[in-house]
Structure 1
Amino acid sequence: MDLLDDLLAGVRASGAVYCRSVARPPWAVRFAAPAPLSLTTMLRGTGWIARDGGEPVRAEPGDIVLLRGGAPIVAGDRPGAEPEIVVLDADRCYAADGGPSTAGHNFRLGPRTFGLVPDGSDLFVTAEYPMRGDVSERLLEALPPVAAVPARPDFAPLLDLLAVEVAREEPGQQIILDRLLDMLLVRALRAWFARPDAEPPAGYRALGDPHVGRALRLMHEDPARPWTVAELAAEAGQSRAVFARRFTELVGRPPLAYLTEWRMTLAADLLREPGATVASVARRVGYADGFAFSNAFKRVRGAAPSSVLRDAANA
């Protein structure tokens, strides 16, 4: 496990909602209730994609556009196009001039496929990711509201397979689509975070450093271990002073401060699990007693772990 593995653990697709749209210019579609993270890609034609009220970004075949925040999404063949169709979910949509009361299976052309014409020149797919917990939130915070990732050679085989599989309805189809979506998301995130102007999560770029990267992977593999800077430096093959300085330069905070923050992020999710207690979560993130854990959690998160337990129980 490394940082990206952990951040993606709560984003892993499970029953992801797909919408395959077939269109002929002029066209525009509004997705009224997207998930906190959506992935859109043009398979044929050119599209313009935007969060509701935001600036549209151009998408050519093979590009991937990530949208976060759960705001409505508008996709069209030109900037500022007025939507003709409003999509509510995988099974319901309606003509924009007809109103929500007409929502149903209108415009359904096949499995996960909607459109006004069955043989339109433009084809795009939107998939929605459920997001769970504070670990996933760290990933969302590192993304802009709209991240347009240009086509890359490593996207092509996955998009070709997606184009075939998304319109099928066979045993195990959802599992295939979920795993395809996971692979596309990981590749899109790696491409986005490699940009010089991107702001990846703390520690992401340090994974490429042979010394600091190894220490980060060890902390993520076993966050409950009572790590010391000296132990991490020895694992990294550096002196304590050199390692601590290099880690802070690359990650933006000292090794043990980073470890504490990561433990508290994990703890916030663990506290929401059924049957969790402060003492049980404390042990799982490396604290011998609940008192020390509670102090650390409140210092880092600004609230007592007991308040997270109460909120989870009342949710």
Structure 2
Amino acid sequence: MIDPLAEVVTLLQPGARFSKFVLGASPWRISRSNAGQPFYCVVLEGRCRIAIDGHESLELLPSDFVLIPAAYGVAMSSLEPPPPGIETPAPIALGNGEYRIGAPDGPIDVRMMAGHCSFGSPDASLLVSLLPQFVHVRGEQRLATLVDLIREESREQRPAREVVLSRLLEVLLIEALRSMAGTNASPGLVRGLSDGRLAVAIRGMHEHPTHGWTVAELAKEAALSRSTFFERFNRAVGVAPMAYLLAWRMALAKDLLRRNEGRVAEIAQRVGYSSASTFSVAFTRHVGRPPTQYARDEQRAAGR
């Protein structure tokens, strides 16, 4: 059975960019703009607060895991932050990827791992739009263990280091996202898959992207009326069913074109279009470039 969540994460091509071990001594406050970069952190000991993209702050407990697929503003602080206007000194590098922040002589009251990963897919913004804006998982030791493995691997220069890191990050992202099933996730693929009826339709689209799906047929798969299915899908996933199907077909097509996996006519059939011309029109409208030009540009950029 096709797993839509695993497919999206695999297409994202996650890679390790930067991670650090942070020791905090109250009071402290740090904030930064991440320009849409994926950010994650896990609290190993103690407690702290995090505020994401201007939302209300959230208290983090030991083993709490936070993932932001596209972060623009992240602020973290001790439970009792410094008074307004008092700047926290820059973190002090202790070596070996460890940093200390806050009172220079105070006791350490929080330990956490924080880091950035990167998404290698040129289509990352589309795929990220299918994920929740913010993932907060509490009490999942598996996630803390995975972060420890990533930290250890990133510090060593072992053979196949990048391959191992990319696989660990894939597992980390899938584990974090599936841990949200059944929770109040923001609209996106995870929330759609947590709805048993919608999940059947979503899996159908991923399993058979070449099929000529209609809203009525997808509603039948989900055992819902057409209007109920359309409204429920739109509310849970954040886009209409046909818009989701188009986005997924285009993501698949772009991946096949980048990897030079056949002629345009062959790729058109593999993503559900009966003719190369129909596919080319849809692709050009969606991407802004004809498929042949897109393939040529991407392969040139990759040095192939």
Fold match by TM threshold 0.5: yes
1:10 and 1:136 in contact (8 A); partners too: no
Match of 2:252 among 266, 269, 286: 266
Equivalent runs, 1:51-62 vs 2, <5 Å: 56-62=57-63
Tell me what 2:230 maps to.
248
2:15 and 2:165 in contact (8 A); partners too: no
The count of aligned residue pairs is 283
Q: Which runs of 5 or more residues in structure 2 are unaligned?
A: none
Equivalent runs, 1:109-128 vs 2, <5 Å: 109-110=95-96, 112-115=97-100, 120-128=108-116
Match of 2:89 among 73, 80, 84: 84
Q: Kindly provide the CA deviation profile for residues 176-217 of structure 1, in whole angstroms up to 9, marking residues without a partner as x.
A: 6655544443343234463346212398247622xx533432
1:271 and 1:305 in contact (8 A); partners too: no
Q: Kindly provide the CA deviation profile for residues 261-293 of structure 1, in whole angstroms up to 9, marking residues without a partner as x.
A: 421233244444568864454243133432111
Q: Which runs of 5 or more residues in structure 1 are unaligned?
A: 87-94, 96-106
Equivalent runs, 1:130-141 vs 2, <5 Å: 130-131=118-119, 132-134=121-123, 137-140=126-129
Take 1:246 and 1:32, find their aligned partners in 2: how far apart are those partners? 40
Q: Secondary structure of the residue that 1:15 maps to in structure 2? A: strand
Tell me what 2:138 maps to.
151
Q: Kindly provide the CA deviation profile for residues 97-127 of structure 1, in whole angstroms up to 9, marking residues without a partner as x.
A: xxxxxxxxxx1432x323368x833211112
Q: Does 1:303 align with 2:304?
A: no
Match of 1:186 among 168, 174, 177: 174
1:302 Cα offset (Å)? 6.8
1:8 Cα offset (Å)? 1.3
1:28 Cα offset (Å)? 4.1
Q: Does 1:195 align with 2:180?
A: no
1:39 Cα offset (Å)? 0.8
One-letter amino acid of the structure 2 residue matched with residue 194 of structure 1: G
CA 148–56 in structure 1, closer or farther in 2 if over 3 Å, else same: farther
Q: Secondary structure of the residue that 1:251 maps to in structure 2? A: helix
One-letter amino acid of the structure 2 residue matched with residue 120 of structure 1: I
Take 1:302 and 1:64, find their aligned partners in 2: how far apart are those partners? 35
Q: Does 1:21 align with 2:29?
A: no
CA 74–177 in structure 1, closer or farther in 2 if over 3 Å, else same: farther
CA 123–237 in structure 1, closer or farther in 2 if over 3 Å, else same: closer
One-letter amino acid of the structure 2 residue matched with residue 151 of structure 1: R
Identity of aligned residues (%): 24
CA 76–175 in structure 1, closer or farther in 2 if over 3 Å, else same: farther
Q: Kindly provide the CA deviation profile for residues 75-108 of structure 1, in whole angstroms up to 9, marking residues without a partner as x.
A: 332447734226xxxxxxxx6xxxxxxxxxxx14
Q: Does 1:220 align with 2:206?
A: yes
Normalised by the length of structure 2, the TM-score is: 0.69
